[in-house]
Structure 1
Amino acid sequence: MFDALVLPTAPITNYFKETTGFEPTHFTPQNASHFTRAQDIAGMLLKGKIIVGYQLWLSLSALGLSHPADQTRDCGTYFPFQTAITPGEDGFKSLIRHFMKWTIRDVLTNTVEDARAAMDLFRSVEVDWEALIARMVWPCLLPPPEYLNCYS
């Protein structure tokens, strides 16, 4: 798991403080990494690894990285999870509540908590997921077309 606070590369118009807890004072060179440093570390850590998460294309796009599609396990696109996503609600929060019987994101979004929840959710179905892939059946929806460049 790699979690880093990164200095913005463009002006921030809304920190979404009520859900992130972040304020402008958090983003100083003393508290946050430069984008290129975080990008380099993430790229190095991801190389040759299967990555697990929720809507991975958002993170890959934000980092300007791509990753082999067959080395991604995106809980947001896994077919068996689709029925648990409540329209108009935080999809990841719905999945965790439905399948894991946990509550996340009660007050603030916590990226470490989210990563652990995604990994636990994946592990709860890993045998079935990997069995489908072994049979050459891709068990996931495609990401939105505008993010296809995030996958190689």
Structure 2
Amino acid sequence: MGADDNTAGKGALKFSNRPVEIDETKTAIGKYVSLDCEFVGVGYEGKRSVLARVSIVNFYGAVVLDEFVRPEEKVTDWRTWVSGIRPSDMQNAKSFKEVQFKVGEILKDRVLVGHAVSNDLKVLLIAHPKRLIRDTSKHPAFRKLSKGRAPSLKKLAKEYLDIDIQGDEHSSVEDARACILLFRKFKDDFEKLAQAKGGKGFLKRGQGAKEKILIPAIGEA
């Protein structure tokens, strides 16, 4: 353990004692990006989720992409209380295809950080190599907080970063930043776990009429 490392005192986690803070001056995309999405409801009683906002931040938390997405179906529940999305946000919203393409270009060959990020990828209809995914909902030490279940991002942010998120409405930028801060704090643990798994391949294709973008891993055809 180096001079800049310490023991978190929570499970077997180790963390860097360097401050993990947002630095919006460092705008280069870099190797690591964190993604989060917000959804609205369509169909009967708004029970079916569709994409309404996508945010991506870089390793330092600077915003790389933040786009509202225009649903192709009539929205029956804006879920503003949790999504933060309002009808007025759709005035300059982009089409699903346009945003999907932008996200795919950013994610290509990069390490993707997120919380239950498979849900976001499924709605985006994008596949990403498993070995390039770092999911804060799946880290074994984090799951101990919820007795083996996936912990909420809100709980992790409070427990390990001492910050409060999702106080009222959700913000995909705020959530993406919380994920990247968690990853940075425990980066060595995440990377060792990923190396031990040695996983390759893609997440399974989701169901949907739209074509899913396949993003090959580095060196994979």
**Which TM bucket (shorter chain)?**
0.7 to 0.9
- Give the match for residue 99 of structure 2: 38
> Which of 198, 204, 208 is the aligned partner of 1:148?
204
**Cα offset, 1:117, TM superposition:** 0.5
Q: Does 1:118 align with 2:179?
A: yes
In the alignment of these two chains, the number of paired residues is 142
**Which structure is larger by alpha-carbon Rg, 1 or 2?**
2
One-letter amino acid of the structure 2 residue matched with residue 83 of structure 1: K
- Shift in Å at residue 133 of structure 1? 2.9
Question: Contact 1:50/1:72 (CA < 8 Å) preserved in 2?
Answer: yes
Identify the match of residue 88 of structure 2 among 5, 25, 34: 25
Partner of 1:61: 122
Task: Give the TM-score normalised by structure 1.
Answer: 0.82
Paired with 1:53 and 1:12, the residues of 2 have a C-alpha distance of: 26
Matched, 1:16 2:73: no
Q: Which has the higher strand share?
A: 2
Unaligned runs of 5+ in 2: 1-56, 58-64, 207-213, 217-221
Write the letter of the residue equivalent to 2:193: L
**Cα displacement (A) at 1:122:** 0.8
Gaps of 5+ in 1: 139-146
Structure-1 separation of matches of 2:158 and 2:77? 28
Contact 1:85–1:95 (8 Å) recurs in 2: no
Match of 1:97 among 121, 144, 158: 158
Cα pair distance change 1:89/1:105, threshold 3 Å: farther
